[in-house]
Structure 1
Amino acid sequence: MSAEHTHDEHGTAHAEHEGMTKKKIWQVFFYMLGITAIEFFIALYLLPKGILGHGMGNFIYVILTLVKAFYIVAYFMHLKYEKFALKTGIMVSLVFIVYFIILMLTEGSYQYLHMN
């Protein structure tokens, strides 16, 4: 039996990360490469030409970066294959962190606008 297989208490072998094949790794790589190409296109063409506003460009960057972060965490850090409780704990923490960042940015802009 190879090192990739583990045994449960009944002696049944399970593949540790059965969904991660070379094909899937390359597929995720090319998804992320495509997203990065879109980000470069926005930064080097759409924003300088004025086709897209900076606020909308930043919003799109954040969304695309979160999509790339999902692929990294889900596939390369193998979170996709973890138990539901671990996924839920991480997602709840992420929601609170994003909420905290939004609150701090809102408070910071409020202070900046009303101190002048």
Structure 2
Amino acid sequence: MSSETTHIHAAGAEHEEHESMTKGKIWYVFFILLGITCVEFFIALWLAPHFQIASHWVNPAYIILTLFKAYFIVAYFMHLKFEKVGLALAIIIPILFIIGLILVLTNESHYWIDLRV
């Protein structure tokens, strides 16, 4: 009887883990993502061409908005927000190291141009 109770509690815990993602929350996150995408299109198609905004201002804005979209996708649609802290850190920390490696390699890449004659 103890194994049946454990099985029932395990199934209930699995159901509770993803129960907080309701249809209302899905639509809420959808409209946030839609709003961020509309802002990106507004910057790209109207603001930047009409006001001649330099790319060193526009590109960081795109990167920041894209990181916000990535956060919402990973947190809600991939259910990372509802996972335990250890699993989230096991996913996030390697990604941070990869981003750091990309930044270091990007910084060092201009030396290749200087070496060619």
TM-score, shorter chain, exceeding 0.5: yes
Partner of 2:38: 37
- The one-letter code of the counterpart of 1:9 is T
State which drifts further: 72-81 or 49-58.
49-58
Structure 2: state its 5+ residue gaps: none
Partner of 1:28: 29
Partner of 1:53: 54
Give how far 1:95 is off. 1.0
Taking only the aligned residue pairs, the percentage that are identical comes to 46
Distance 2:64 2:20 in 1: 26
Specify whether residues 8 and 99 from structure 1 end up closer, same or farther in structure 2 by C-alpha distance, changes over 3 A only: farther
Give how far 1:107 is off. 1.2
Calculate the TM-score normalised by the size of structure 2.
Answer: 0.82
Structure 1: state its 5+ residue gaps: 1-6
Distance 1:89 1:52 in 2: 39
State which drifts further: 44-53 or 10-19.
10-19
Give how far 1:8 is off. 7.8
Distance 1:44 1:16 in 2: 41
State which drifts further: 24-33 or 93-102.
93-102
Partner of 2:96: 95
1:38-64 CA-partner distances (Å, limit 9, x unpaired): 100111112212453201211111111
Calculate the TM-score normalised by the size of structure 1.
Answer: 0.83
Structure with more of its chain in helix, by fraction: 2
Give how far 1:87 is off. 0.7
Distance 1:11 1:88 in 2: 29
Distance 1:31 1:60 in 2: 17
**Greater relative CO, 1 or 2 (CA 8 Å, sep 6+):** 2
Between structure 1 and structure 2, the one with the greater Rg is: 2
Which secondary structure state, in structure 2, belongs to the residue aligned with residue 48 of structure 1?
helix
RMSD: 2.1
